[in-house]
Amino acid sequence: MRLKLDRFFAEVEGFADFGERTLVEHKEICGQDVAFYVNEFWTSKQRAAHSLHEVSYRACFKPQLPRFFLERLTSEGDVVYDPFMGRGTTLVESALLGRRVAGNDINPLSKVLCMPRLSPPSQDEVAVRLGEISLSATAESRGGEDAELLAFYHGETLSEISALRCYFMEREASGELDDVDRWVRMLATNRLTGHSPGFFSVYTMPPNQAVTAERQRMINEKRDQVPVVKDVRAIILKKSKQLLSRLTDSDRERLERSAPLMTTSQAEGTDEIASGSVKLVVTSPPFLDVVDYRADNWLRCWFNGIDSAELPISQLKSEDLWVGKMTEVFRELGRLLVSDGVIAFEVGEVKKSKVMLEELVIRAALDAGLCVHGVLINAQEFTKTANCWGVDNQSKGTNTNRIVMISR
């Protein structure tokens, strides 16, 4: 294991693809000398990410991040895992590279957003299915409407959204929900709210952050706007075409081989995943007292029949609680890893740089009996004249990814 990571860090130290060689600094954390490797390792200057990734979710990283580690630390057929999968960036990128994938998230919404993109239908199949689904309001679908949602939608649009919601829930309950249904449901979920005409709603917050109905009424009043009728089918078809625009036959073949396993558990208790089966973990955990994933996704949860208020999502407000939780997660990840497996654990900074989460991650990993090998800091537009982007814990690391590299 050490030898493989030695080669990885040798490549990282010599990395200069975007004009600068890597800056290496050292810092003592938890009594251990930790090397920090700072450079622009992936960038907007690279090729655009695959169109399948274009599904919004709060606090998600770019696909170039997992790709950097996938290309260097795995081979085709290896299992790649994300215990906090969110929209599924790690899984989709891994599958596109021919890896097998496993993912977990306590919110069932993650599976709704990720699974369809690992088995996408054709655009023609989507068009046919949308033509078959009745968007006329039935008594049952009307009963599912919430008058509060009229802050977001014109009444006719809300009626069609409710009819769609009822259709998917009935199909799932009867066991008839198929890959085309899942794809359309994912598209509709993605188009519920946003700040452009390509969404079902009136202008509101970005689609990864749903405001309350009360807050939306305030937005409407401030902008002097009212919801207008939207063409639900046309919006779904347009988004489908966008997601499928770069999908090739070779992509489809690799996706079919990905053998996805997705669980909805606490990340420290994923018994469904076999011990010693995972080659690489690429993930980003819930941030310390920053993002309220439950509140951000309440409307998406409503559409999918999920009670967001009942989701046991951790909102950890102290460093000790966060470290305790992550220690248990790391123990579980240690169980899942093959002998030469690696964890790439991406974190952000919080509380105006007074707490650098990589230090808490290192503490948790060591407490779990794992080995910490170093920290990569991907700094956009990095130059050697800049400071080490917060490594000294004094200055704010603007627009960075901070990835702690860990093994058994």
Q: Which pLDDT tens digit goes with each residue over 331-363?
A: 999 999 999 999 999 996 555 555 678 999 999
Classified as helix, coil or strand, 350 is strand
What is the pLDDT, as a whole number, of residue 29? 96
Task: Provide the CA 170 distance to its chain's centre, in angstroms.
Answer: 27
The per-residue pLDDT for 7 is 93
Handedness of CA 135, 138, 141, 145 (dihedral sign): positive
Q: Spell out, as residue ranges, where the chain has pLDDT lower than 70.
A: 1-3, 44-47, 137-145, 288-293, 314-315, 348-355, 381-399
> What are the C-alpha distances in Å from 243 to residues 66, 85, 238, 398?
19, 19, 9, 30
Predicted pLDDT at 145: 58
- What count of residues does the chain have? 408
Nearest to 330 by CA among 407, 260, 253: 407
Helix (H, G, I), strand (E, B) or coil at 285: coil
Residue 206 has what pLDDT? 83
Sequence letter at residue 87: R
> Mind listing the domains of the chain with CATH numbers?
2-108+248-407 (3.40.50.150), 123-243 (no CATH)
Helix (H, G, I), strand (E, B) or coil at 385: coil
Nearby residues of 214 by Cβ (< 8 Å), 6 or more positions away:
151
What pLDDT does residue 357 have?
85
pTM of the model: 0.92
